[in-house]
């Protein structure tokens, strides 16, 4: 289940960490957020070491649909109502900046990564009023949008909201070019992060210990539970993508806002057709996975050929805004970039800008909207209660079950992907118990001591 990105790019193999060393900053995770942060620190003349458990870009960066856009679903009217116009403008301004900054970096570094400017579109087959309200909100925040009633999609719509002058690219080609001159150690899994003092942290790996002044958690889902408590403030969501040849070529890309809707985006002659989102581990909802997409694709483009298929996993926060900033008030030199939802391309670059400035000692007051220490709004409180309800439900069992190595939640079998998935926090394992996705940092034992059945 390799994506079209991994199938068309070969990244240079990096050596693992060899023994103990020290660094000014350690970045955990060599995906887009980690590599961009390392790049920006290097531009500021600051030393950074990046540790990657697997290969560069082997996580969610290689599974994205790679939309560089400030169009983040129906977010702006909600941001204005919840946090006020000023903070909403900060959020929107960072996303618009990221689009242009990608283009600037690509030109400066001469990276060939199929970067193209195009339109991003929200569509609805059920009603148009919510799109019109979102258009008004976006325009108030300085984002150029156009409302339309027709588009190039192969099915009728009630309305389309177009965000102009957005972009798309090949994420692994970009990552390959950006990572060339950075200090990256692959096959180096971090098992523990030990805080010694405000200026000293020991990052303990299976290859050695790195002692650093600053630590950046850019590993998708933070695996350190206390302090921070990110396990209680996020969950993970899976979605599915088919790569179809001979389906349709789109000028822009599209995202539906209805309950049953799809994501569509062309990459050359390939159409990326996605949907079927559900909370990781809630595998009773897999009726919306690959098979549902294939059935719909067969109706829309009966002559199309499936060239690849894959799934992505996204960290979802309680209020749909990422956590970018200080990891915890109790850890002044720890930083985090997580909870990007479905919008990791722009949020990764926003994270790199914010965190590199914070590490440099510069204030970024406009980043207050992303602060991990922000107060929860009422919707976030409701989501927190629901999140904890799910965790408690999956911790309790009257019979032996397979349990996650992270916090002991019972695992759910995913028949379409042949994996064991955790519905609490999103860790995933293959059928033999090998770790695939965190926040867990270790694989499962063949026979658990906590009452679970053996593999």
Domain ranges of the chain: 6-64+173-232+320-370, 67-92+114-167+241-312, 396-437
Helix orientation angle between 129-140 and 76-83, rounded to the nearest 10 degrees: 60
pTM: 0.93
Residue 276 has pLDDT above 90, yes or no: no
Average pLDDT for 225-232: 94
Are 160 and 149 in contact by the 8 Å Cβ rule? The answer is yes
Percent of the chain's residues with pLDDT above 70: 91
- State the Cα–Cα distance between residues 36 and 38, nearest whole angstrom: 5
Cis geometry, peptide bond prior to residue 227 (ω within 30 degrees of 0): yes
Show the beta-strand stretches assigned E in 175-285.
183-185, 190-197, 200-205, 209-217, 234-245, 253-256, 263-267, 270-279
Per-residue pLDDT, 52? 98
Closest C-alpha among 315, 437, 371 to residue 53: 437
Average pLDDT for 151-160: 95
pLDDT in tens, 9-52: 999 999 999 999 999 999 999 999 999 999 999 999 999 999 99
Q: What's the pLDDT band for 269 if we cut at 50, 70, 90?
A: very high
Closest C-alpha among 97, 82, 78, 103 to residue 142: 97
Average pLDDT for 359-367: 92
Per-residue pLDDT, 398? 45
- State the Cα–Cα distance between residues 426 and 231, nearest whole angstrom: 10
For domain 67-92+114-167+241-312, the CATH architecture is 2-Layer Sandwich (3.30)
Are 116 and 68 in contact by the 8 Å Cβ rule? The answer is no
Average pLDDT for 403-428: 91
- State the Cα–Cα distance between residues 266 and 450, nearest whole angstrom: 47
**CATH class of the domain at 6-64+173-232+320-370:** alpha beta
Matching CATH number, 396-437, of 1.20.120.530, 2.40.40.20, 2.102.10.10, 1.10.3720.10: 2.102.10.10
Per-residue pLDDT, 449? 45
- Cα–Cα separations (whole angstroms), residue 448 to 64, 289, 391, 430, 455: 34, 30, 20, 16, 9
Domains 6-64+173-232+320-370 and 396-437 share a fold: no
Coil vs helix vs strand at 75:
coil
- State the Cα–Cα distance between residues 229 and 423, nearest whole angstrom: 17
- State the Cα–Cα distance between residues 350 and 348, nearest whole angstrom: 5
CB atoms within 10 A of CB 244: 25
Q: 381-390: long-range contacts at Cβ-Cβ below 8 A with a sequence spacing of 24 or more?
A: 381/318, 383/318, 383/319, 384/232, 384/233, 384/318, 387/232, 387/233, 387/234, 387/235, 387/318, 388/232, 390/235, 390/279, 390/423, 390/424
């Amino acid at each position: 289940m390799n994506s079209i990105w991994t199938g068309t790019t070969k990244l240079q193999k990096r050596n693992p960490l060899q023994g103990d060393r020290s660094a000014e900053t350690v970045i955990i995770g060599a995906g887009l957020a980690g590599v961009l942060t390392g790049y920006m620190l290097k531009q500021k003349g600051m030393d950074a070491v990046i540790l990657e458990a697997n290969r560069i870009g082997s996580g969610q960066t290689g599974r994205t649909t790679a939309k560089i856009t400030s169009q983040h679903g129906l977010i702006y009217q909600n941001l204005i109502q919840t946090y006020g116009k000023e903070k909403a403008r900060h959020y929107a301004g960072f996303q618009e900046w990221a689009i242009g900054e990608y283009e600037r970096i690509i030109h400066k570094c001469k990276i060939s990564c199929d970067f193209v400017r195009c339109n991003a579109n929200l569509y609805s087959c059920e009603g148009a009023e919510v799109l019109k309200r979102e258009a008004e909100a976006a325009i108030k925040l300085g984002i150029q949008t156009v409302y339309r009633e027709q588009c190039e999609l192969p099915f009728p719509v009630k309305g389309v909201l177009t965000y102009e002058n957005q972009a798309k690219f090949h994420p692994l080609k970009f990552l390959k070019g950006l990572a060339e001159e950075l200090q990256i150690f692959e096959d180096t899994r971090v098992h523990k992060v030990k805080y010694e003092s405000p200026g000293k942290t020991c990052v303990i790996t299976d290859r050695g210990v790195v002692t650093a002044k600053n630590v950046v958690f850019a590993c998708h889902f933070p695996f350190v539970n206390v302090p921070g408590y990110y396990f209680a403030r996020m969950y993970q969501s899976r979605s599915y993508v088919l790569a179809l040849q001979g389906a349709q070529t789109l000028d822009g890309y599209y995202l539906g806002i209805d309950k049953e809707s799809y994501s569509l985006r062309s990459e050359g002659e390939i159409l990326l057709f996605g949907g079927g989102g559900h909370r990781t581990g809630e595998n009773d909802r897999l009726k919306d996975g690959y098979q549902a997409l294939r059935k719909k694709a067969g109706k829309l483009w009966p002559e199309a050929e499936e060239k690849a298929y894959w799934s992505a996993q996204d960290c979802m926060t309680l209020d749909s805004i990422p956590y970018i900033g200080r990891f915890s008030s109790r850890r002044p030199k720890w930083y985090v970039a997580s909870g990007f939802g479905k919008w990791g391309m722009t949020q990764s670059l926003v994270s790199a800008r914010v965190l590199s400035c914070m590490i440099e000692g510069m204030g970024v007051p406009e980043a207050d909207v992303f602060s991990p220490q922000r107060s929860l709004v009422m919707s976030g409180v409701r989501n927190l209660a629901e999140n904890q309800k799910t965790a408690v439900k999956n911790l309790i069992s009257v019979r032996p079950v397979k349990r996650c190595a992270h916090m002991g939640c019972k695992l759910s079998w995913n028949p379409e992907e042949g994996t064991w998935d955790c519905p609490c926090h999103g860790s995933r394992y293959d059928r033999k118990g090998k770790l695939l996705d965190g926040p867990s940092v270790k694989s499962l034992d063949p026979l658990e001591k906590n009452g679970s059945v053996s593999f």
